[in-house]
Amino acid sequence: MATKWLEQSWETLIPSLEPLGKEQEEQIRLLCEAEKERWRQRPGMQVDSSLKKPMTETRNYIREVLLLREDNWWVNPKSGKKEHLALKYLNFSTEEWMRINLPAAERLQERLDQPLLLVDASAIVACGESLLQRDTWPELVLGLGVTTGRTLAELLKTGRIRPKTGYSVLFAGPQTVYEQMSAFFEVPTLVRAQLVLDAFSRIRQIFGMQFAFVERREVGRQCGQAVRQAAYRYFGNLVPLHPGEQDLYKALRGVYGCLAVRYYCPSWVDEQQYLATITNHRRALEATSDEERLALLAAVSSLDYILPEAAGAVRKKGIRLGEPDVEVLEVFREGASGAEEQVC
């Protein structure tokens, strides 16, 4: 049930939106931006997470009361369905939603202070490689998840993939509030890239156009349970979870990040910068402080795992660089020459 102040806000917002259509789209945008700003200026909105409820409730109310006419809708590329134009602008960007959903600072610090140990990284990678060669879709999705760090929706619906090097691919996915695709960015693969490309192609063939016109949440509803069950079956004895957590497939994104740094992060590249780059975490890449970047990466489980190190040893990274067909990500190659000069 909406709070009184939000209901009062609707009494002004809805009548203002109702007569407007495509010819007044800029006016609709300005009204929506002003509404979001009013929420932010309220005394009770002291943390970003406070904005989640009014946004969700207002969007649902717009769907309920603003009827679609010939002149006031757009097609949401997430669902392929017509929606009122106000829903195009009364929303947060992907990065804003990520910030709004950040856990409490205490919980983030707890995750950073108590990373989980991956005892047998080789077994994890070998299992992922084996899964990529299966014919059953939960195993294929699971193999792709652990070897590329991609989400369920990215693998089954929104993601686009291209070949790059022997152990990396180019990937693109929706990034903005309007679900526009990001530019392709390079993603290291924990196994040969061709195995990943072949598995991605097979999984898309299996599902065809099944998810073309549904929202991303529907992908999770239809396929999430089977993939999570497969994750426990294949990785339950290899990958620990924090107390109270149950989604092992989601945790595999952190496993991927940990292993990608160990295998491919160059010595001259900051570990956090590398993780932000391979996940295309724009807000973390643009962070103005190490503390902010650390919190953002911790919030998406990118820093949950560590690998065994000898007592007193510096954490190893980039141990596979120099192997046949293993290359530094193109975005970091310019730093290679400078680093080599400094060593000399």
Q: Is the pLDDT of residue 197 over 90?
A: yes
Residue 110 scores a pLDDT above 80: no
Beta bridge mates, 84? 73
Residue 128 and residue 86 in one domain = no
Flag whether 202 is in a domain.
yes
CA distance 96 to 41: 16
Structure tokens that stand for 71 in this block = 């002149």
Q: What is the mean pLDDT of residues 299-318?
A: 78
What are 134-156's pLDDT values in tens digits? 999 999 999 999 999 999 999 99
CA 77 to chain centre: 18
Q: Which are the contacts of 268, defined by CB distance < 8 A and separation ≥ 6?
A: 332, 335, 336, 338, 339
Q: Is residue 105 part of a domain?
A: no
One domain for residues 232 and 323? yes
DSSP-assigned letter for residue 158:
I
Band of the pLDDT at 341, cuts 50, 70, 90? very low
| 210-222 pLDDT tens trace | 887 777 778 888 9
Q: Determine, yes or no, domain membership for 321.
A: yes
Query: Given 56, 91, 126, which residue is the final one in a domain?
Result: 91
- Residue 71: CB atoms within 10 A of its CB come to 11
Q: How would residue 343 be classed by pLDDT, with cut points 50, 70 and 90? A: very low
Percent of the chain with pLDDT over 70: 88
Regarding whether 81 and 118 lie in a shared domain, the answer is no
* Judgement on whether residues 187 and 267 belong to the same structural domain of the protein: yes
Same domain for 215 and 123 = yes
pLDDT band at 325 (very low <50, low <70, confident <90, very high): very high
Of 174, 22, 175, 34, the C-alpha closest to 84 is 22
Domain match, 172 and 39 both: no
Does 117 share its domain with 22? no
* Together in a domain, 153 and 205: yes
Residues 6+ apart with CB under 8 A from 49: 100, 101, 102
pLDDT of residue 281: 86
Pairwise pLDDT comparison (202 vs 220), residue with the higher score? 202
Task: Give me the residue label for tokens 């998810």.
Answer: 211
Percent of the chain with pLDDT over 90: 60
Write out the two tokens for 193: 């890239």
Token pair recorded at residue 44 = 């009770």
Question: Cα(94)–Cα(103) distance, rounded to whole angstroms?
Answer: 16
Q: With bands split at pLDDT 50, 70 and 90, how would you rate the model's confidence at 1?
A: low
For tokens 């192609």, name the residue: 201
The pLDDT of residue 115 is 87
Mean pLDDT of the chain: 87
Considering the domain architecture, whether residues 50 and 199 belong to the same structural domain is answered as no
Structural domain span for residue 79 = 4-91
Residue 163 lies in a domain: yes
Contact by Cβ (8 Å): 219, 209: no
- Which of 83-97, 190-204, 256-270, 286-300 shows the lowest mean pLDDT across its residues? 286-300
281: CB partners within 8 A, 6+ apart: 275, 296, 297, 300, 302
Strand 73-76 with 81-84, pairing: antiparallel
Q: 50 to each of 54, 93, 155, 305, how far by Cα in Å? A: 8, 16, 31, 30
Do 64 and 121 have their domain in common? no
- 337 part of a folded domain: no
Q: Is 336 domain-assigned?
A: no
State the pLDDT at residue 342: 38
Query: What ranges make up the beta strands (E) of the chain?
Result: 73-76, 81-84, 116-117, 160-165, 168-172, 185-188, 305-306
Give the model's pLDDT for residue 3: 82
Residue type, 320: R
Are residues 151 and 291 both part of a single domain? yes
Domain termination site, one of 91, 121, 152:
91
Instruction: Read off the tokens for 22.
Output: 């495509």
Residues 250 and 308 in one domain: yes
Given a cut of 80, whether residue 298 has pLDDT beyond it is: no
pTM for the model: 0.71
Q: Structural domain tally of the chain? A: 2
202: nearest Cα among 130, 141, 125: 141
Domain boundary among 91, 121, 137: 91
Burial of 82 (C-beta count, 10 Å sphere; 0-12/13-18/19+): exposed
CB 227 within 8 A of CB 140: no
Residue 63 placed within a domain: yes
104 inside domain: no
Q: Please tell me the total number of residues recorded for the chain in this structure.
A: 344
Q: What CATH number should be reported for the domain holding residue 205?
A: 1.10.443.30
For residue 41, pLDDT beyond 70 = yes
Phi and psi of 219, rounded to 5°? -60, -45
